[in-house]
Amino acid sequence: MIVLKSLRKPKEYSFYQNRAMIFTDQIGHKFKLEFVPKRIVSVVPSQTELLYDLGLDDRVVGITKFCIHPEEWFRNKKRIGGTKNLNLAKIADLNPDLIIANKEENTQAEIEELQKLYPVYTSDISNLDESISMIKDLAVITDTEDQASSIIQKIVNDFNRLAEVSVKKCTALYLIWKDPYMSINQNRFINDMMQRCGFENVIVSNVDYPELTKNQILTLNPDFILLSSEPYPFKEKHIKEIQELSPKSKVILVDGEYFSWYGSRLQNAVSYFVALIDKIP
């Protein structure tokens, strides 16, 4: 069971002391803020959606071309490139006072370049607890604790409910890419979501995103093969192809956003997972 800790703002993080504050992000980087950020650039899709749900429409000035939620932001906010090829000139034009990044989604070189110029909060998330910690951090930084509290409470309540659901334990291979086939190891956030649904990841590797040959997929012989909708857009047409690689496995399509987005989308993840579990024979 997840135990929800207080979201109350620590005294040392108070913006009401008329002094600059020092924050530490999830990769240990320290940055200073003189005031509550008013011009935010997000270079992480799932965290962009979180900023929307925190009510920061007037304060987010830039997003990436992959920040598709919410649609109104995708249509109207300034786009500053992709997650791994940021347009630093466009970011400079926006004059941000906070950039929100992620260790996995963005490149180290670009994060380090941004850190030289702006306050940058970089998340590093491999499980649900770290996701909740990130939401708390951004709530404190953006002075939106009240909004974040309800988001976190729903996530915690829902995942506690999921833990009480009787799930059939089964082995699974989660595929995120094709040509070459790629999966995820047990250190990734997706693995944590799989486990909470009763899927035991058959991949044991030191590589976060290992490539797999067709013969390896056959040898793994999992109960299920989960074809993610992202980053590779697996469709119905791919099911037969994968089924031929592992005839004894049940091949199903899954919504990759619920397995890999670690922001406020988690509010809806459990409902999706419960429906998915109900379909498992």
pLDDT at 92 over 50: yes
**Amino acid at the residue 228:** S
Contact assessment for residue 265 and residue 257, using Cβ atoms and an 8 Å cutoff: yes
Separation of alpha carbons 25 and 31, rounded Å: 8
Of 262, 210, 255, whose CA–CA distance to 231 is shortest? Answer: 255
In tens, the pLDDT along 232-270 reads: 999 999 999 999 999 999 999 999 999 999 999 999 999
pLDDT at 12: 46
Label residue 11 by pLDDT band (50, 70, 90). Answer: very low
pLDDT of residue 118: 98
The rounded distance, in Å, linking the Cα atoms of 111 and 60 is 18
DSSP string, 164-218: HS----EEEEEE-BTTTEE---TTSHHHHHHHHTTEEE----SSSS-EE-HHHHH
Altogether, the residues listed in the chain come to a count of 281
For the stretch 13-61, pLDDT in tens is 455 456 788 999 999 999 999 999 999 999 999 999 999 999 999 999 9
Q: Are strands 30-33 and 21-24 parallel, antiparallel or unpaired?
A: antiparallel
pTM score, two decimals? 0.93
**Closest-CA residue to 168 (of 254, 1, 281):** 281
How much of the chain exceeds pLDDT 70, in percent?
Answer: 94
Q: Angle, nearest 10°, between helix axes 266-279 and 189-196? A: 50
pLDDT of residue 3: 56
**Domains contained in the chain, CATH given:** 11-159 (3.40.50.1980), 166-279 (3.40.50.1980)
How far apart are alpha carbons 242 and 227 in whole angstroms?
A: 9
